[in-house]
Amino acid sequence: MRLRNKPGAKEKLLDYPQYVIHEPENKRGNWQQVFNNTNEIHIEVGTGKGRFITEMAKAHPNINYIGIEAYTSVIVSALDRAIEAEVPNLKLLNMNAQKLEEIFANGEVARVYLNFSDPWPKNKHEKRRLTHRNFLQMYENIMKTDGEIHFKTDNQHLFEYSLVSFSEYGLKLKYVSLDLHHSDFEGNIMTEYEERFSSIGKRIFRCEVQLPLVEKA
């Protein structure tokens, strides 16, 4: 159950500017300077309590990771993980992904991770799904030409919807698994939701798609 208001959470985020970037729109076009290197930037949209992004940052020190989460009460747990892990290649943004283009310049991001995104099953909420074409357009606008989206979910309906959405958008399907935990995929890092759903026997779906290799104007 998500806590919408966690006492002291906002203040705690302000106390750790080395991990939580405030007014991130001021960094647009300069994210590599924030990390003080020229490494690729990978973002996770809907990072939740941060297990995936923190473990990825530990496992891949030569990639810069940015976790984006709308709820203060949730991202504060990701901050706790970052503080414990002491990872210089991880930053967190407390914001709604609707504003991604205000935060990142064209071509600034190499990869987008979507893990166990909210399914929004009602048709009237389709536009809120993070794999809706409006979001794909945003990801394309901030990603480099051969950028990739890596998507995991336990929700078969959302997975089917997303494959169609990716295909209609013209993305290239590079990898698909209908049962990740019984596949040959190596190096999987579990998210909090993945742990919870797989422990009750739910299958995990995963795919990787790539932007078309067309030079941007």
> Does position 68 bind ligand SAM by CB under 6 A?
yes
By C-alpha distance, which of 78, 72, 68 is closest to 4?
Answer: 72
Q: Give the Cβ contact number of residue 180 at 10 Å.
A: 20
In the numeric block, the tokens 């790539």 are attached to 210
Give the interface size with ligand SAM as a residue count (CB under 6 A).
Answer: 20
In sign, the C-alpha dihedral spanning 91, 76, 115, 124 is negative
Q: Please, what is the minimum distance in Å from the beta carbon of residue 36 to ligand SAM? A: 26
133-142 helix and 156-169 helix, angle to the nearest 10 degrees? 60
Contact indicator for 75, 108 with CB cutoff of 8 Å: no
Pick from 32, 192, 202, 203 the residue near ligand SAM by CB under 6 A.
Answer: 192
Question: Rounded to whole angstroms, how far apart are CA atoms 193 and 8?
Answer: 25
State which residue, 69 or 140, has the beta carbon closest to ligand SAM: 69
Pick from 70, 83, 110, 176 the residue near ligand SAM by CB under 6 A.
Answer: 70
**Stretch touching ligand SAM by CB under 6 A, among 14-22, 56-64, 81-89, 94-102:** 94-102
Distances (CA, A) of 92 to 7, 11, 83: 19, 15, 11
Strand partners, 153: 205
> Catalytic residue positions?
118
Q: How many residues belong to the chain?
A: 217
Residues 128-187 that bind ligand SAM (CB under 6 A): none
Pick from 31, 69, 82, 166 the residue near ligand SAM by CB under 6 A.
Answer: 69
> DSSP class of residue 187?
S
State which residue, 47 or 165, has the beta carbon closest to ligand SAM: 47
Encoded one letter per residue, x for contact with ligand SAM by CB under 6 A and - for no contact, window 7-46 reads --------------------------------------xx
Residue 167 carries which side chain, given as an amino acid letter?
S
State which residue, 172 or 188, has the beta carbon closest to ligand SAM: 188
State which residue, 94 or 210, has the beta carbon closest to ligand SAM: 94
Pick from 19, 116, 151, 161 the residue near ligand SAM by CB under 6 A.
Answer: 116
Residues in contact with ligand SAM by the rule CB under 6 A: 45-48, 68-71, 74, 96-98, 115-118, 191-194
